[in-house]
Chains A and B, each alone.
Chain A
C-alpha cells in the first residue's frame, strides 16, 4: 500500500512540475509588457497648431482638442520642391488631449488622450505610427491595432478639409497639422 501512496505522490509531483513547466514556457512566450508610451510631462511640449480645435470631426465629434508634440517631432523634414513631402523622425510623439465638451472651462481637464508615436519598425505600427488611446483617469494605454485611426489620418496625405487642407496632396506622414502650415488653417476658419 505504501508503494501505491508514494507512486500517487510521485504522480502528483510530476503533474505539478509539468504544469509549472507549461506555465513558465507560456509566460516566456508571452510578449513582454510595453513600457509607458506617452510620458506624463507631455503637456509641457509645444503645440503643433494655434488653430482652436473645437469644430466637429469624425472620431472626436465636437470635443475640444489640444495637440502637443515632443521636441524630436519638430525636427521633421520637408522636401523642397513641389512634392513638399513631410517625414517625422522615429521617436516623434504627437499627443492630443480630448476634452469633454467643445468649450471647456479653465478648470475642466481632458478625459482622454490620443497619441501617435513614430515607430516604423514596430510590428504594431500602422503607416509607421503606433496609435494609442490613453484613459487619463486610470492611466491605461491601449494600442489601436485596427485601421480605424490610420484610415482617417491617411486623409492627411491628400487634400483634406482641415488646417492647411494640403491642396497639393503632399505626403504629410499622416499628420493633419504639420507645424508651419497652420496659417492656412487659420485663414480658412472653416474648421
Chain B
C-alpha cells in the first residue's frame, strides 16, 4: 500500500518544464514502440508468409507483403494434414498429437507430485527433510546431457524406447524437481498454526491436504502448469534422442523438415507449421499473464 502511494506521487517524467516533459514522453513512447516492433516483427513476418505462394517467397524472400489476389489459407491445411516430414506425408497433425500426448500427462502428473511433495516438505518435519529438499532441487540444475545415456538405458529396460510414454516418464520425473520447488516455496507461507489447529482437531495427513492445502493452491497450480506445459511442449533434445520417426514431438519434427538442407523447400507450409508449434505455449502465455511472470521470478531467483 505504502509502496503504491509513493509511486503515485512520483512521476519521473513530470520533472522539468512542459516542453521537456513532452519531449521525454515522446522519447519513451518512441523507444517502446521501436522495441515492440523488433519483438513482434519476426513472428508477424512468418505469419504473413503462411499465406503467400511459394514462388513468391522464393523470388522476394520472407520480408515482403503478401499480394491480396494470391493469398491463400491452403498452406495451413497442407501443413496440418498432407505435408511430408521424414517419409510420412501426414503433416504436423501427427507430431502435434504426440506433443499433446506427451505434454498434458507429464504436466498433470508432475504437478500432482509437486503439490504433495511441496506440502510434505513445507509442513511436516522429519529427519533429513532439508537434505531431501536439497536433493530434489538439485534436479532443477542438472544439464540434460548428463542424463542422456542413463535415460536411454533405463527407457530401454522399461520397454519405453521410442515411445511417447517414455517421454512422459522422463518429463514427469525431471519436472517433479521444479514443481516441488515451486510448491514448497509457496506453501511455506501458509501459517503453521493453521496446520497445528487442524491436527489438534484430529485431521490427518490427507485431510489437511484436502481441506487446507488444496483450497489455497490454485495460484501455485496455475504457475506450475504454465511452467511445465511450456517447458515440456518446447523441449527438443529428449524428444530427438529418445524417439524417432513418427513418434517424435513437434519440435523435433520442425528440425527434421527445416534443418535438412536437401530437397525442395516449402517455405509457406513450413512457416505455417512453425506458427502452429508456437500457438499452444503462446495461448498459455497470454491466458496466464501475471502467473507466467510469477513463475519466472520464482523459478529464477529462489
Does B associate with A? no
B contact residues vs A (CB 8 Å cutoff): none
A contact residues vs B (CB 8 Å cutoff): none
